[in-house]
Amino acid sequence: MLALALVLLLALLLFGFGFALKVLWWVALVVFALWLLGFIARGTTAAGSRGRWYRW
């Protein structure tokens, strides 16, 4: 009985990790799309310099 409970617990744990990884992939895709959109739509501040959409 204990072995069955451990196997079920392991299956639930692995399912949880798989679901979390799938969600993280979707989050990464959204962040990448926003970064790409910001990179494409950046404005130039002056004619000779390259404009940046971020501040470092």
At 10, list the tokens: 């392991």
At 22, list the tokens: 């799938």
State pLDDT tens for residues 16-28.
888 888 888 899 9
State pLDDT tens for residues 1-55.
888 888 888 888 888 888 888 888 899 999 999 988 887 877 555 544 555 555 5
Please, what is the Cα angle at 41 between 39 and 30, to 5 degrees?
A: 55
Residue with tokens 């979390």: 20
Give the pLDDT score at 56. 55
Per the confidence metrics, is the pTM higher than 0.95? no
